[in-house]
Each structure stands twice: as C-alpha cells, then as structure tokens.
Amino acid sequence: MSLALLVTWLKFIHVATIAGWSAGLIALPLLYRERRGLSGEALHKLHAFTRFFYVGLVSPAAFVAIASGTVLIFLQGTYENWFSAKLVGVSVMTGVHIFSGLMILRLFEPGGVYPLARFVIVLTLTFSAIAAILVLVLGKPDIAWPGILARFFAPGALSELFEQLIGGAR
C-alpha cells in the first residue's frame, strides 16, 4: 500500500471517528437530563443504555480518533500553529469525555441529578470545542502565538520542559 493511500484511509477513519465522538459528547448530556424523576426499571434501562453508549460507542470512537490522528501527525509532519491550537480543542473534548464518564458513575446513584446549568455549560463547551476544531482544520489560519506561548508550542518544547523538570539524561 502506498503512503498516499494509507494517509487517505487514515484521514477517512479519523474524520469518521471524530464525527462519532463529537456526536456522542453532544448526546450524553441529553441522556443525563432524561434521569429526572426516573426510578426502578426505567432508571435501570437508562443507566444500562448510557453506560453502553459511553463504553461501547463513544469511548472507542474517541480512542480511534486520537490514535489515527496521532499516526497522521507522524506521517504528515504537521507542526503548524493552527495545529497546536487544534490540539487544545481536542484536549477540551478529552476533558469533557472524561468528566462525562465520571458523571455516569454519580448520576445513577440514588438522588442523582443533572442540573440544567451543568447541561448548558457542558453543551456550550462541547459545541465550542468542536466548532473551534472545524474552523482551525478547515481554515488552517496563520496563527502567531504571543510570547511564552510561542515557546511552549514550538516543536520539541515539551521534551525541553521535561528535561528541565527531571534533570535531563546523564
């Protein structure tokens, strides 16, 4: 298989799984709001479906999206400032994903609630991250990082930071 064909397939997989992951992160708060007033068998069914949705569909999509994106980084050598900004958006999505999993653990305990304010905040954060990623990937804007951020986002900056923190190889 040629490198160009491999990159094409990886991009297809990456875009498809990003779409699935994004849709899942949007759907989860909607499922959480269905918790209101449920008890007994109805609560059990919602809990089982929500766990399956998170563990069986959304999490694998996230894993494949991040894994395929990581492989694409190395195959294409994307080291532009817009790409660093995109990774910040992916980090936000990852944070929302992690907190969504923690919410499932707490929400279905007796008396669990998902307040409207949290619902609005999570959906706003999720939509904002997805929109920012789309704008960055489709527009590839020329971003100039200010001062300290320029140094932080430079290729190899993370390894330099860790060398300073742990004393480097001796």
Map out the domains of the chain as residue ranges: 3-142
Please give the pLDDT value at position 168.
60
Q: For 73-104, how does the pLDDT look when each residue is reduced to its tens digit (9 = 90+)? A: 888 877 788 888 899 999 999 999 999 999 99
CA angle 90, 94, 96 (to 5 degrees): 115
As a whole-number percent, the residues of the chain with pLDDT over 70 amount to: 96
Q: pTM of this prediction?
A: 0.83
Q: Provide the pLDDT for residue 39.
A: 86
Contact 73, 145 (CB under 8 A): no
The sign of the torsion formed by the CA atoms of 149, 152, 153, 155 equals positive
Q: What is the pLDDT of residues 25-65, one digit of tens each?
A: 999 999 999 998 888 999 999 999 999 999 999 999 999 99
